[in-house]
Every structure is written in C-alpha cells, then in structure tokens.
Amino acid sequence: MRRKIFAPGARGFTLVELMIAGAIAAAISGGAFAIYNAQQISYLREEQFTEAQQNIRAAMYFMEKDVRMAGYDPYGDPNGKILPGFIQAKIGSIGISHANDNALATAQSAATQTIIYALADDPATGGYTGTGIAGGRPQNALTKTTSLTQSTNGGPAQPIIDNVEAVEFLYHLRNGKSTTFTSPDPAATSEDLLNVLSVEVTLLVRSRNIIKGYTSPPLPCTPGQLLANPTCQPGAGWVPAPDFSHYLHYMLTANMQCRNLVFREKVQ
C-alpha cells in the first residue's frame, strides 16, 4: 500500500484564497470584455458613419453634375426660344433641363433632357409629398426613412441613396432673393425658373442600424431654416424622433452654381 508523503509545511489553498483569485480573474476578464466591447462599438459607429458619408457625397456629386448643366444649350433655337434651366423648384424636389449631348439632333425639343430629384415616400413608386421631410409630416419629427430618387425624361423614379431623412433645396435668384418656394413664399413661377443662379442643397441621412450607446446630438439648422429664422438654434429644425434618436445622423450642405445660367440676361 502506497502512502502519500507531503513535505513539511505543505498545504493547499483555502476557500478565501480561491474566492479572491476568482474575483481578480473575473475583474480582469470583465475589464478586457469592456475594452473589446467599446472598440467594437467604435468600429461599427465609424463604419456606418463612413458609409453615410460616402452615400451622401455620391448623391451630391450626381445632383451637382446635373445642376451645373441646367440650361446648357449648344444647339440654340431658330425661333429664339430660351431653354429653361429648371422645370420645377420646390423645397423637396428639383427639376432640371438641359440639352442632351448624346442626342444627334439639331432641334432643341428633340435634344432636351429632364432630370427630377425628389425625396420619395415610396421608393418603388416615387410617391412624393413635397415637404422635404420623409413621410411628408407637418411636424418636424423624423419618423420614417425613405430614398432620394432620380427620374430622367419622365421615366420611373430610381433610388440613388437610401436612409434619407430630409432634403432641402434653397434657390438663389438673379434678383438677389433666396427662397425654398414654400409657405410663406409663393410657389415658383415660370419667370423664377428662368432666373435661378444657384441651388443650395442640404441632405440628412442616417445609419442603417441603431448604434448601441449612441444618442444623436441636436441637428444644426439648414440654410433655409436660418433664412426663415436667423436666430434658429441647433435642435429647432429637423429633429429625429425618439425611436430614431439612437441612429447616427449626418448632414451635408453644398452650394451648386448654375454655370450656364449665370451669364444670361435677366429673363422676364
């Protein structure tokens, strides 16, 4: 029969020592997980913020390209007809017209191309309410996401970017007036459409998913909101609703010059 021989003074761990060691291990593991979780949240936040930036800048690129082409007319018209740069001007949509370089035609009517950008309530049908806010609500809470769409030559509206919460088109006219052509300002007249020199576009997009632990800060006032109320403070304009306050929001404004209309004489 074998007997276990212990060295003098040898002993095991007491229960208290085991509990202390377990507590230390748990604290270290908890700290490591907290650091990992924070880094993961930061990574996801930056990823979605970058995606929103790329989407909004791509949309601005397409719109600026067309706005800068507004009124482009290398063919001319034998009857002296002026090709309007815009076919509609609203706070939430814009209609642009210019000659189509790809059309092998000399008649202005045969070479004209029209492009409409709008905030659609339903990307599938291109439904549009005209307020510039997703869902067309009279209140300023943003409770629905939608798409910015493009329609060419009367064709169906095609989504350019998704997760758009709001859009604003501010028009700068030849007479020095700036307007969104929404109440209390009157709607755009045919003369107004011929005398737009530049368009200031503001887009508000949100992330695809909720960002854990993130709360959207107050959004700055848009140029149109500041025009209507020079004392407008952040949070007084477009406001995410509580259900959307934990999405990351990104706003961008760009001033687009109508280079083909700047040198025209005032049209009456």
Give start and end residues of each alpha helix (H) in the chain.
15-69, 108-111, 190-194, 223-228
Q: Give pLDDT, residue 268.
A: 47
Q: Which two tokens stand for residue 225?
A: 């909101």
Q: What is the pLDDT of residue 44?
A: 74
Q: Is 243 helix (H, G, I), strand (E, B) or coil?
A: helix
Length of the chain: 268
- Confidence at residue 177, expressed as pLDDT on a 0 to 100 scale: 92
The pLDDT, as a whole number, for residue 51 is 87
The string over 36-60, giving b where at least 16 C-beta atoms fall within 10 Å of a residue's C-beta and e elsewhere, is eeeeeeeebbeebeebbeebbeebb
Please tell me the predicted confidence (pLDDT) of residue 109.
Answer: 46
Residue 214 pLDDT: 78
CA–CA separation, 150 and 141 (whole Å): 25
Distance CA 148, CA 59 (A): 8
**pLDDT at residue 256, rounded to an integer:** 94
For 98-125, the pLDDT digits (tens) are: 887 655 444 444 468 889 998 876 544 4
Full 3-state SS string of 66-106: HHHHCCCCCCCCCCCCCCCCEEEECCCEEEEEEECCCCCCC
- Find, among 182, 201, 203, the residue nearest to 53 by Cα: 203
Low-confidence ranges of the chain (pLDDT < 50): 104-110, 123-125, 138-140, 267-268
Measured from the Cβ of residue 63, the count of other Cβ atoms closer than 10 Å reads 24
Looking at residue 219, what DSSP letter applies? P
Q: pLDDT digits over 38-48, tens only?
A: 777 777 778 88
> What is the reported pTM?
0.78
Give, in order, the Cα–Cα distances in Å from 187 to each of 101, 107, 116, 255, 262.
31, 31, 17, 21, 22
